[in-house]
Amino acid sequence: MTAVVLGIETSCDETGIGIVRGRELLANEIASSVDEHARFGGVVPEVASRAHLEAMVPALERACASAGLRLSDVDAIAVTAGPGLVGSLIVGVAAAKALGVGLGVPVYGVNHLTGHVVVDELQHGPLADPTIGLLVSGGHSSLLLVSDDTSSVTALGQTLDDAAGEAFDKVARLLGLPFPGGPAIDAAARDGDPTAIAFPRGLAGERDRYPYDFSFSGLKTAVARWVTARQRSGETVPVADVAASVQEAIADVLTDRLVAACRDTGAGHAVLGGGVAANSRLRAMAAARCERAGIELRVPRPGLCTDNGAMVAAVGARLVAAGVPASGLDFPATSTLAVGTRVVGGER
């Protein structure tokens, strides 16, 4: 019988509980503390940890109810062991271990970043081997080679400075848009002209040296300069045009590198993941460029792109199916867990 896996996600400001049976998604409950952070313009770690504590049991109950299951039906537990905010991770890891002991089921400490890439299996079925994953979130931007069914991923490249989501959030702040900035820029950009301002494409001239890497700090500085110059001269800042132009620059760089990685590795399949993959322009541009290059692109629905428990359960389901040993009960929460670390604490 296919295992029922409960996934717990608490790496940032979303408490996510997902339940899957193999690749079948049974529940995906999310409690977000984003409103509590908004007035600070960013996630406040201590506030996030406390919110996870309060949300954990109700979210578990809601997930079981919406899956029509009891906790005793769960065969294995997967939890984000990193990367993320350590105080937040600890809440999820402790909950997973307690449930593991209480229910007598194995616990897998898994990599949040892998979850962002493999979550698409819950929507579109098994990933092709090999697939190039473009992972773009608030803390990470990487191009990953996903090459087998046991959730091992290899980093081909990553951002040299800010993550794509961070760039969206910082630019939104400059424009006086609310936090989190990505959705706000996406919305503002709808009324703007993406060709209004030619913002820099980071590392554009350095393809040879950085074929699959990104850089967004120059973009952020360019936007700051552009906006400040307008403000100094008393002109109104055309928020929609700036938002559309910034979004265009970010989507351009990301999709350019994605297509290059597919072409160079011969991978005919690509998948997007992470909160920024919810961006409408990135989705459209990736679809158009991949189609032109003969690459089959898969993009999970926006609710599976941002942090959630189902993505963690999806990694757990792969590990269980592949017979990978569980983590035991002494694995740590690791805020800096590297891309490619498959399961924390197992296989020693």
Residues that bind ligand KG4 (CB under 6 A): 12, 137-139, 165, 168-169, 180-183, 186, 274-276, 278-279, 306-307
Q: Which two tokens stand for residue 312?
A: 């963690």
> Across the strands, what pairs with 146?
131, 153
Taking the complex as a whole, the smallest distance from the CB of residue 11 to ligand KG4 amounts, in Å, to: 6
Nearer to ligand KG4, 181 or 202 (CB): 181
Nearer to ligand KG4, 10 or 74 (CB): 10
Phi, psi of 267 (to 5 degrees): -75, 130
Contacts of 193 (CB under 8 A, 6+ apart): 240, 241, 244, 245
Taking the complex as a whole, the smallest distance from the CB of residue 79 to Zn ion amounts, in Å, to: 14
Q: Which does 181 bind (CB under 5 to 8 A by kind): ligand KG4, Zn ion, none?
A: ligand KG4
Taking the complex as a whole, the smallest distance from the CB of residue 326 to Zn ion amounts, in Å, to: 23
Cα distance between residue 38 and residue 178, in whole Å: 7
Taking the complex as a whole, the smallest distance from the CB of residue 184 to ligand KG4 amounts, in Å, to: 8
Nearer to ligand KG4, 4 or 278 (CB): 278
Taking the complex as a whole, the smallest distance from the CB of residue 118 to Zn ion amounts, in Å, to: 13
Nearer to ligand KG4, 43 or 74 (CB): 43
Q: Which does 120 bind (CB under 5 to 8 A by kind): ligand KG4, Zn ion, none?
A: none
For Zn ion, the binding residues (CB under 5 A) are 137, 307
Q: Which does 157 bind (CB under 5 to 8 A by kind): ligand KG4, Zn ion, none?
A: none
Q: How many Å is the Cα radius of gyration of the chain?
A: 20
Nearer to Zn ion, 43 or 259 (CB): 43
Nearer to ligand KG4, 76 or 143 (CB): 143
Could you tell me which of 84, 96, 86, 90 has the C-alpha nearest to residue 18?
Answer: 96
Taking the complex as a whole, the smallest distance from the CB of residue 180 to ligand KG4 amounts, in Å, to: 4
Is residue 276 a contact partner of residue 224, using CB atoms and an 8 Å limit?
Answer: no
> Across the strands, what pairs with 283?
none
Q: Which does 180 bind (CB under 5 to 8 A by kind): Zn ion, ligand KG4, none?
A: ligand KG4
Cα distance between residue 223 and residue 228, in whole Å: 8
Burial of residue 115 (number of CB atoms within 10 Å: 0-12, 13-18, 19+): buried
Question: If DSSP states are collapsed to H, E and C, what string results for 156-173?
Answer: EEEECCCCHHHHHHHHHH
